[in-house]
Amino acid sequence: MKEAMSVSESVLVDMLDCSSFLARKPTNKTVDEVFQIGLEDRATAYHFIYREGEILGGSAYFDVGLSTMGHQPAHFLWIRLSVDAGLRLIKKFKLRKL
């Protein structure tokens, strides 16, 4: 994830607190704080997703990140990569499709 952040087009952190609202909203937590919560939360889910045509006029991109669903409020880290950067990380870390 840290390497993905170093070549990212953008990084976003947001949160979801279902006890008070049903939509994500900005958080004052830093990327490092959310990453640390993710390391400590056993229910953290990590993702590396290829997306096509969902935003920016149909351009393709990779979305790397995590969600801390076992921690309330839940925090989300979104790292957006160009297709080329995503493919380089897949090759470097020998990632496989699930």
pLDDT of 23: 87
pLDDT of 96: 86
Which residues form the domain of 33?
Answer: 2-93
Mean pLDDT of 42-68: 83
pTM of the model: 0.85
Domain count, the chain: 1
Given a cut of 80, whether residue 15 has pLDDT beyond it is: yes
Give CA–CA dist 75/16, Å, rounded.
6
pLDDT of 1: 87
98 inside domain: no
Query: pLDDT band at 21, cuts 50/70/90?
Result: confident
The mean pLDDT of the chain is 89
16 inside domain: yes
Given a cut of 70, whether residue 53 has pLDDT beyond it is: no
Burial class of residue 91 (count of CB atoms within 10 Å of its CB; 0-12, 13-18, 19+): exposed
33 inside domain: yes
Tokens for 32?
Answer: 């490092």
